Amino acid sequence: MEDSVSGGARFVVGVDGSEASVEALRQAQRLAAPAGAMVLATAYWDDPQVYAGYVAMGIDRFEERVTMILKEALAQAFGDTIPPNVVPRVIRGHPRDSLIDASRHADMIVVGRRGHGGFGGLLLGSVSSACVAHAHCPVLVVHSPDKK
């Protein structure tokens, strides 16, 4: 994942529109700004294995939908003014594999925790677990902010 925006440090954030991924954007920016690092806000999409079935049901235009989710997440995280070091990217590929691949050229991967189950606070989602286990750089797993 080469990028001509900056030759400096690079934080890659996986964005899926969840509260945890919006918080991951905020935390990545909080860490990146003082270091002059770039934040790549990445959202991933791919055609499902049974693509024709989805089209028949009227569920298509996956890239457009992911682009909208990324724009909405950036607006939730930063309001009307996206920081200049935050670069949005919509990438075709599975989030787990794509983030692990991106970790080869990143200084940090930042993902939200979406794990579910009986031990809710202890579990990681499949993407965050894979990143923690297989990334080639440090990984920060961010929880959703507490609602009070």
Residue 7 banded pLDDT, cuts 50, 70, 90: low
Q: Give yes or no for residue 12 having a pLDDT over 70.
A: yes
Identify the three-state secondary structure at position 55. Answer: helix
Q: Give yes or no for residue 117 having a pLDDT over 90.
A: no
Residue-level pLDDT at 34? 93
Top mean-pLDDT range of 63-67, 69-73, 142-146: 69-73
Report the pLDDT averaged over residues 121-141: 82
Top mean-pLDDT range of 2-6, 24-28, 54-58, 59-63: 24-28
Element (H, E) at 139: strand 139-142
Report which of residues 128 and 76 the model is more confident about: 76
Is-above-0.85 flag for pTM?
A: no
69 C-beta neighbours (distance < 10 Å), count = 18
Q: Is 36 exposed, middle or buried (0-12, 13-18, 19+ CB in 10 A)?
A: exposed
- Interhelix angle for 19-35 vs 62-78, to 10°? 60
Please report, for residues 2, 43, 44, 86, 102, the alpha-carbon distance to residue 30 in angstroms, rounded to integers and kept in the order given.
Answer: 23, 20, 23, 11, 20
| CATH code that applies to domain 10-142 | 3.40.50.620
Half-sphere exposure of 108 (CA within 13 A, CB side): 19
Identify the three-state secondary structure at position 59. Answer: coil
Q: What residue segments make up the domains of the chain, in order of their start?
A: 10-142
